[in-house]
Structure 1
C-alpha cells in the first residue's frame, strides 16, 4: 500500500513539473498582445464574456482524471485568467463555468476582482452541479440598480443572471442641464450543451424564458426604452435556431457587427471561440446587443417560427425525409391530404419534442393555431409549406443611420418621447488571435473557450414602438 502511494505521489510530482514547463513555454503566448488594440474613449464601456472551463470538467491525461484533483494546475490557470481579466479592465465581466463549489477558487476571484473595484454576483447551477455564473461590474462605470436570478429548473440545471445597471458617469445633459444617465439590462447565461438533436428545443426554450423574463421585468418596473446586452456561452453557432431566434427579435451579434460579417453561410465559419471535448471547433460565445431603436415582432411569433425551424430540421436532416414524406409523417393516418391536430401531436412525440422541458400542451396549441392559418381545424399542404417547410422569413431591419455618436464629449438635447440611449459597437476582439481566423492554437491553455471582449460607444437614437408583451 505504501509503495502504491509513493508511486502515485511521484507521478503527481512529474505531472506538476510537466505542467510548470508548459506554462513557462506558453507564458509569452498568452501575453504577447493586449486584447484591445485601440485606446478607449472615456465614455466607452466594454464587456467581456468568457467560459473559463471549471476544473471539475477539464480532462487531464485520462478520461477519468480531472484538473480539480490537482490544486497546482487549477490554481495556476485561474490566476492567469484573472491576470488577463484585470489587464483588459472591462466594465462588465460575464464568466461561465466558475467552480463555485470550491471556496478557495471563489475567494481568489472575490479578492482580486473586488480589490480592482468590481461588484461580484454569483449564481450556482441548480442541483449542486458544482459550477455556475459570475458577473463582475466595475463600479467606475456602472451602478447596479437591481439583480435578479433566473432558474430554468430544466434538464440541464441551467441558470441566468439579470442585472439592471446605470452608467456611473453622465453621457449628456438635457435642456435643464440635469444629468441623464444611461440604464441598461445585462444578462449572463450558459445554455445547455447539445448532446443530441432533440435538445435543440431545450436551448431555444431557455432563451425564450430569458426574453420573457426581461419583458416581464421591464413591465413590472415600468422601464423606458434601454439597450439590452446578452452575454454568455450559447452552445450553438450562427447556423442554429437560437441565433436566428435572437436575430428575429432585433438582436445583433456584436462581434459580427464589428467585423461586418453577415448572417450568410459564407460568414458562418469566419471565427471560432470553442474547442469542445469532441475536438470540434465552433463559434458559440456571443455578446448580443438590442438597441431601443430596433423594431421587434411579437416574442411568441419569433418563438413559433424558431420551433417550426427545428421541426423542419428534424424532419429533413435527422429523419432524412423529403417534403412529401414529411407531410405524410405529420398527417399520419388522417384522411385526405391534411394534417389534424391529433396527428400533429403524434408526430411531435415521434420527433422527441413533447416533454415538460421541451414543448408543453399550451405551446403545442399555439403552434397549431399558427399553422392552421385559416382556422378550419386542419392544416393542408399549402399551410404546411407556409409554416414549416418553406416559411417566409422577415428580413432583418437595416442599421439605423440616424445614430449620433456622442463619445466625443459633446452635450446634446434629449427629447424623452422621441429618443433614447443606445450603443454602437466600436470594437470586438477574440483571444487568442488565431480563433479570429477560424483556427484553434494547440498552445492555448487558459480554457477551451476564447474570451470575447466588445467595446461599446454611447449614442442617441430614435425609439422604436414597443410591441405588447406576449402573455
Structure 2
C-alpha cells in the first residue's frame, strides 16, 4: 500500500481538499479467504483516488469564486497528470471520486484513455445535478463485470455509490478436481463531509444503506458468501463511528493490514491522505476488505451499537459525568429513571432526529428497546450504565 500523485476532494461549493495522493492496495487472492490461484499465482491491485473536481478546486484564497473549472488549461493538465499516474500503476480496480461528470470533454478523456488501456468503465453522477460523481474501472485482464447497480442515498448531501459484481478471469482452485472463477462485490462511494456533529448520523446511515443493499443483492441473486471490497473517500478517520461500525461488521482496512496497525486511536495519526478545507491533516481514504468466512454479527445489532456510540460521544463531548448524563436524559421524569419521551427529547436536542435525514421513528423505537433491558418501559440507572460504559465490539 502506498500513496502518491496529485488530486483532491471537495464538498459541494463549500470546501476543497488539497489532495496529497491516492491510496493503493495490492491484494493477494489468497488473502480474501479462498484458496490459491491456478499456477502461476496472481495478485490484483486496487486504487481509490479522490481527484478533486475542478468545480470545487479554489485557485485564490482571496477570491473564493475563482475555480479551476474556469480555466481549461489548468484542469486539463492536472487531470492528464492524474491519468498518466493511473495508467502507470495499471491497478486491476480503480475507484475515482469527484470526477467532473458535468464536463463531457473530461469524461471522454477518462473513458477513452482507460478504455484504450483495457478497462471497463462505469460512471455515476451525484443526484440533483451537483456536477461531480464516481467512476469505477476494472481491467478486463483480471475481471469481467457480471452486474452493476447504482445506489442513490437521496439525502441532502446528494451522495451516491456504485456496486459492481465481478468475476475473476483467472479461476480459483477450490479443490484438486475443480476450479471456478472467484466472484467479488466492489463498492465505490464518497460519503458526506461532517460539517457538524449532527451529520455523523447521516454518514453512518449512508454506510448502513450500502451494507443493507449488499445483503439484499446477495439474497435476491441467491449468492454464496463472497469477498467484498469497499473503496472511496469516507470523510472520517479511524477515530470515527463509521470506522468502528465497519470493523464491527468484520471489515478490515487494507492500509491497517499492510502496515500492521491496530484499531486503537494511537495509530490514527500514522497515515495522511490530505489536508481538508479546514487545514486539518486527515486520513480518510479507505479500501475495506471483508473475508466471507469471517463471522458477522447481525447488521441491525451493529447499527444500534454505532448509534449508541454517537449518543455516548455527544454526552461526553458536553463534559457530562455519568450522573449528569443520566440526569440530562431523565429530564422531567417524575422518578429516578429515563422515560421514552425524555429519550426522544435528548435525541432531538443532539440533532439526531430533528432533520429529515436523521433517525426515523422506527430507529428511535429500536434503540429504546435495546436500552430498556428489562422491558418495563423505563430505563433506570443500571440499565443506563450498560449502554454508557459499553464499547462497540469488534470481532
User: Does the TM-score normalized on the shorter chain lie above 0.5?
Assistant: yes
- Shift of the 189–38 alpha-carbon distance from structure 1 to 2, 3 Å rule, reads closer
**Structure of larger gyration radius:** 1
Q: Residue 223 of structure 2 aligns with which residue?
A: 223
Q: Residue 34 of structure 2 aligns with which residue?
A: none
Q: Residue 126 of structure 2 aligns with which residue?
A: 125
Q: Distance in 1 between matches of 2:116 and 2:392?
A: 49
Instruction: Give the SS at the match of 2:167.
Output: strand
Q: Residue 78 of structure 1 aligns with which residue?
A: 79
Q: Distance in 1 between matches of 2:235 and 2:25?
A: 25
Q: Residue 168 of structure 1 aligns with which residue?
A: 169
Q: Distance in 1 between matches of 2:332 and 2:235?
A: 38
**Structure 1: gaps (5+ residues):** 1-29, 398-471
How many angstroms does 1:171 deviate by? 2.4
- Shift of the 376–231 alpha-carbon distance from structure 1 to 2, 3 Å rule, reads same
Q: Distance in 2 between matches of 1:210 and 1:201?
A: 14
- Please give the residue correspondences for 1:172-191 in structure 2 after superposition, counting only pairs within 5 Å: 172=173, 174-177=175-178, 179-191=179-191
Q: Residue 116 of structure 1 aligns with which residue?
A: 117
- Please give the residue correspondences for 1:72-471 in structure 2 after superposition, counting only pairs within 5 Å: 72-172=73-173, 174-177=175-178, 179-317=179-317, 319-354=318-353, 355-387=355-387, 389-394=388-393, 396-397=394-395
- Shift of the 115–312 alpha-carbon distance from structure 1 to 2, 3 Å rule, reads same
How many angstroms does 1:275 deviate by? 0.9
Instruction: Give the SS at the match of 2:161.
Output: strand
Q: Tell me if the contact between 1:238 and 1:268 (Cα under 8 Å) persists in the aligned partners.
A: yes
- Shift of the 85–279 alpha-carbon distance from structure 1 to 2, 3 Å rule, reads same
Q: Residue 441 of structure 1 aligns with which residue?
A: none
How many angstroms does 1:167 deviate by? 0.1
How many angstroms does 1:37 deviate by? 10
Instruction: Give the SS at the match of 2:199.
Output: helix
Q: Distance in 2 between matches of 1:120 and 1:166?
A: 15
How many angstroms does 1:85 deviate by? 0.5
Instruction: Give the SS at the match of 1:339.
Output: coil
How many angstroms does 1:327 deviate by? 1.1
Q: Residue 6 of structure 1 aligns with which residue?
A: none
Instruction: Give the SS at the match of 2:364.
Output: helix
Q: Tell me if the contact between 2:172 and 2:181 (Cα under 8 Å) persists in the aligned partners.
A: yes
Q: Deviations over 1:125-152 (max 9, x none)?
A: 0000000000001011001000001100
Q: Tell me if the contact between 1:147 and 1:164 (Cα under 8 Å) persists in the aligned partners.
A: yes
Q: Residue 37 of structure 2 aligns with which residue?
A: none
Q: Deviations over 1:319-358 (max 9, x none)?
A: 3322222111111100121111111101111111103311
Q: Residue 50 of structure 1 aligns with which residue?
A: 49
**Structure 2: gaps (5+ residues):** 1-19, 30-39
Q: Residue 15 of structure 1 aligns with which residue?
A: none
Q: Tell me if the contact between 1:184 and 1:228 (Cα under 8 Å) persists in the aligned partners.
A: yes
Q: Tell me if the contact between 2:244 and 2:392 (Cα under 8 Å) persists in the aligned partners.
A: no
TM-score normalized with structure 2 length: 0.88
Higher relative contact order (CA 8 A, sep 6+): 1
How many angstroms does 1:39 deviate by? 12
- Please give the residue correspondences for 1:6-45 in structure 2 after superposition, counting only pairs within 5 Å: 43-45=42-44
Matched residues, number: 361
Q: Residue 434 of structure 1 aligns with which residue?
A: none
How many angstroms does 1:42 deviate by? 5.5
- Shift of the 36–161 alpha-carbon distance from structure 1 to 2, 3 Å rule, reads closer
Q: Deviations over 1:57-86 (max 9, x none)?
A: 001023221100111100000000000001
Q: Residue 445 of structure 1 aligns with which residue?
A: none
Q: Tell me if the contact between 1:272 and 1:282 (Cα under 8 Å) persists in the aligned partners.
A: yes
- Shift of the 38–328 alpha-carbon distance from structure 1 to 2, 3 Å rule, reads closer
Supply the RMSD in Å over aligned alpha carbons: 1.9
